[in-house]
Amino acid sequence: MADLHGILALDKPLGFSSMKAVAIVRRRAGGARTGHAGTLDPLATGVLVLALGKCTKEIDRLMATEKRYLTTIDLTAFTATDDTEGERTEVALGAPGARAAAPARDEVEALLAERFTGTVMQRPPAFSAMKVGGRRAYALARKGEAPELAPRPVQIHSIAVTDFAWPLLSLDIHCGKGTYVRSIARELGQALGTGGHCTMIRRTMVGAFGIDRAVALDALPESITQDWLDAHGAAGAGG
């Protein structure tokens, strides 16, 4: 087993699970102990912070740092997964229980400021890694036993609307540990009287690690050495 130590920010590509990314880095690092500081969904891209060797002791600290995400939300439908993987349940304007007309941008921004900023109660997605009775929620959901997860407090520092052309809403989210972007999409849609699921999620920051410091998966060498890790990551635990 290789004796490598460091912290590496990876730009995780679409379709890869966080654990698959960890496995690739571990193999290329000669079997060095490797872990990640916060799951990134397969349908999300962006910063996945990996810790190798002695730096794995820093994972809890890194997981507690602030995050930033870019996301695009489709307001015309809900899905069971709160992203594009699940089957769509359409919400047509003017239908029973839905609003009559599309919301204006200023209405969306006012709602985000009032109900989605600060310490908010958020219900995690049924398809998530939360544990229910010792089992992952997504495992239960895939068997048709989707659990009703209780809302929990999360910290959302800011949400900025970067673009809005009905039905697609793009947001820049700055938040604390444990915040689910997919839950923001679902709960915003419920509050607006529309649908709401994420069509794109990109994590652009984990603590001190911005997307500009992240290494693309296809840029990883076949054999990761300490010199390469020192040059492309953070050799010390301080990040």
- Backbone φ and ψ for 231, nearest 5 degrees, come out as -80, -30
Beta bridge partners of 118: 156
> Active-site residue 41, yes or no?
yes
Q: What secondary structure letter does DSSP report for 55? A: G
Distance CA 143, CA 43 (A): 20
Catalytic residue among 11, 41, 74, 82: 41
Joined together, the tokens standing for residue 130 give 């939360």
Where do runs of H (alpha helix) occur along 77-201?
A: 105-115, 137-142, 181-192
Tokens 């239908």, located at residue: 95
Joined together, the tokens standing for residue 209 give 């690690």
Distance CA 191, CA 193 (A): 6
Tokens 């899905």, located at residue: 79
Catalytic residues: 41
